[in-house]
Amino acid sequence: MTESRDNPFRRRPPKPKEPARDAQKRPDPRGNRKDFKVMDGPKRTFGKAPRRDRGDRDLAGKPGPRGVVRQNERGGGLRRLPKDMADLADGRVDRLRRPPKPGAPLEDERIGFVLAGVRNQDARAVYDARVAALRAANSRGDRAALGRGLCEAQRLTLWRARNVTDFAAFAESVVGIRSAEARELAQDAARAAKITLDALPPQVIALWLRIEAALSRTCPTATVSVNGMGDALEFELHIPGGDVGRTVEGFFDMGGAATGLRRFLRPA
């Protein structure tokens, strides 16, 4: 039986096997172009962007010597974010942390205290004694003593011991003198003593009030003051020595009051 080309049942010849993938050669990108001419210069790769050597251009885009990476004068290039900003950008945290605030020099956990590190009873005792002295100086017209007392009251923030609003209210409602005149007298006294009217640090105020309150119980005529400014502060004590027994008791009470402040001080 003779096979015909139109016979659908004839045996077809087997398909030729395809060469392996690795054995296939890439087609020549030049094709059959005979006028293609390779130019002298860097190697060209068809189908891909030409690779640039890092040494050909610096980070600012300017040509530079091969193998040298330059930065522009303004410090161009990539910069790393701080650790907290990087965590926020990567989504590891939802918000930035606030920088920690410096702690107060006194740690007074009591409720309702008027001045940190001082018992309310001692603070009010010093307040009452100083207000009486200011009123007496005002009544007899002793402007020098009145100015020194107002200056110390402003440095001590004494009005807080009885919950008075501010220095102006303390001068007008408590001492009985106009606030403008009180500020002028206090400024003159501060200028004479070469100090400022700024409030003292809270630990200094606490020590001052503690010592004065302790001395007032045994030596009522003793006086306490603080001279100087900044880190050059100096305590000045005037204690009568006529009665040695009372003087010794005053020093003893003063030492106990001063050392009692240690439990409120924050370690440096």
List the beta bridge partners of residue 265.
106
pLDDT band of residue 7 (cuts 50, 70, 90) is low
* DSSP per-residue codes, 146-172: HHHHHHHHHHHTGGGGGT---HHHIII
28 Cβ neighbours under 8 A, 6+ residues apart:
none
**Which range scores top for mean pLDDT: 23-37, 76-90, 107-121?**
107-121
Ranges 3-12, 95-104, 259-268: which has the least confidence? 3-12
Q: Which residue would you say has higher pLDDT here, 193 or 76?
A: 193
Structural contact between residues 256 and 119, judged by C-beta atoms closer than 8 angstroms: no
Q: What is the mean pLDDT of residues 6-30?
A: 62
pLDDT at 132: 96
Q: What is the mean pLDDT of residues 158-173?
A: 94
Q: What is the pTM of this model?
A: 0.61
Domain boundary assignment for the chain? 120-263
From the list 155, 169, 256, 166, the residue with the least C-alpha distance to 213 is: 256
pLDDT at 41: 54
Q: Is the pLDDT of residue 268 over 70?
A: no
Beta strand segments in 111-260, E:
223-227, 234-238
pLDDT at 18: 67
Q: What's the number of CA atoms in the CB half-sphere (13 Å) around residue 123?
A: 21
pLDDT band of residue 127 (cuts 50, 70, 90) is very high
- Structure tokens, 188: 């003159």
Backbone angles phi, psi at 124, to 5 degrees: -75, -30
Categorise residue 219: left if φ over 0, alpha if ψ from -120 to 50, beta otherwise.
Answer: beta
Structural contact between residues 232 and 226, judged by C-beta atoms closer than 8 angstroms: no
CA torsion, ordered 109, 114, 115, 117, to nearest 10 deg: -40
pLDDT at 55: 47
Ranges 26-30, 64-68, 117-121, 228-232: which has the least confidence? 64-68
Q: State how far the alpha carbon of 1 is from the alpha carbons of 4, 5, 6, 7, 10, in Å.
A: 9, 13, 14, 12, 11
Structural contact between residues 172 and 178, judged by C-beta atoms closer than 8 angstroms: yes
